[in-house]
A = this chain, B = another copy of it.
Amino acid sequence: GSGGAEGREIPSGEAEAEEFACPAHCTELSWRQNEQRRLGLFCDITLAFGGSAGPGSAPASAPAQPLREFRAHRSVLAAATEYFTPLLSGGFAESRSDRVELRKWSSEGGPDPETVEAVIGFMYTGAIRVSPGNVHEVLELADRFLLTRLKEFCGEFLKKKLNLSNCVAIHSLAHMYSLNQLALKAADMIRRNFYRVIQDEEFYTLPFHLIRDWLSDLEITVDSEEVLFETVLKWVQRNPDERERYFENLFKLLRLSQMKPTYLTRHVKSERLVSGNETCVKLVSEAVESHALRAENLHSGNLQHST
């Protein structure tokens, strides 16, 4: 060229390259691929969601649950989560067939189809509407599909919704899905309000290991130790066939020495689960004895003082 600068820099090849990045393009791309999915365009895989007919259940006795099917793109699923990467590209049967069956969910018939649709939509677009009504299933799906960010969002969502009527359920969920911060916050609320929490039916749906943890917790607030005995009884009675075997373990956690002697002799000792268990009977006797000894000491002490 004839050249000339006109007071500005002259281009000098690759040194003047520029990066152009357009995040809006990614977002639009995602939403359009999601739209294609809804229309069934270019889909190459079917996700089939259904009840818990795992390999363990006999196909003859348990009638096959109808599976809910969702068409999708392997490419998007594999890009959205590592859950699908090996499943779709590796040596699994699913990578050759065009169908993945997803069973074994917390609810009998598998997650609600609307929630599944929303979570698949999240895999495509990174956006989802979470409500108190769907957050449990969203969390279950997010956990299964390794959608870490969505799991964390559910944790934050539940943290904001935490109150006395749901803290037991939320603590249990948080435990199940390793949402540690949420678990800590829910546990703190439970501890500080234990006397109210145990009036709630939800508490009696907890598994043994959580009931054991709560009775071992030194910071739970209750009016009296007697209340805890009744709580243990009530928990066992909700499902005696399953839970009676845990009674001794839980009973050992009670601080019998803090119960009144009349309560021990009239209510605890006469309870069938106690009287039928050698260890429990012995613990009650020891508590009653220590009460008696303490009373005697106290009495003689008082006498000594008054002389």
Judge if A295 is at the interface, Cβ distance under 8 Å.
no
The answer to whether A42 touches B129 (Cβ under 8 A) is: no
Question: In the assembled complex, how far is the CB of residue A190 from the closest CB belonging to chain B, in whole angstroms?
Answer: 12
Judge if A57 is at the interface, Cβ distance under 8 Å.
no
Stretch with Cβ within 8 A of B (4 or more), from A192-200, A249-257, A270-278, A281-289: A192-200
Cβ < 8 Å to B, chain A residues 259-304: none
The answer to whether A23 touches B20 (Cβ under 8 A) is: no
A-side interface residues, number (CB < 8 Å) = 70
0 or 1 for each of A95-137: is its CB under 8 Å from B? (1 = yes): 0000000000000000000000000001011111111110000
0 or 1 for each of A62-81: is its CB under 8 Å from B? (1 = yes): 00000000000111101110
Q: Out of B14, B29, B133, which one reaches A133, CB within 8 Å? A: B14
Stretch with Cβ within 8 A of B (4 or more), from A162-170, A221-229, A232-240: A162-170
Question: In the assembled complex, how far is the CB of residue A161 from the closest CB belonging to chain B, in whole angstroms?
Answer: 5
Judge if A202 is at the interface, Cβ distance under 8 Å.
yes
The residues of B that contact A27 with a CB separation of less than 8 Å are: 23, 26
What is the bound-complex CA distance between A193 and B199, given in angstroms?
A: 90
Given A17-B129, A18-B130, A29-B26, the answer on whether A36 and B78 have CB atoms closer than 8 Å is yes
Question: In the assembled complex, how far is the CB of residue A63 from the closest CB belonging to chain B, in whole angstroms?
Answer: 33
The answer to whether B165 touches A4 (Cβ under 8 A) is: yes
What is the bound-complex CA distance between A11 and B164, given in angstroms?
A: 11
The answer to whether A29 touches B193 (Cβ under 8 A) is: no
The residues of B that contact A130 with a CB separation of less than 8 Å are: 17-18, 20
What is the bound-complex CA distance between A125 and B150, given in angstroms?
A: 22
The residues of B that contact A4 with a CB separation of less than 8 Å are: 163-165, 193, 196
Closest 6 CB pairs of A and B: A25-B126, A1-B165, A4-B164, A17-B131, A32-B79, A22-B126
- Identify the A interface with B (CB < 8 A): 1-6, 8, 10-11, 13-14, 16-30, 32-33, 36, 41-42, 44, 73-76, 78-80, 88-89, 122, 124-133, 149-150, 153, 157, 161-166, 189, 193, 196-197, 199-202
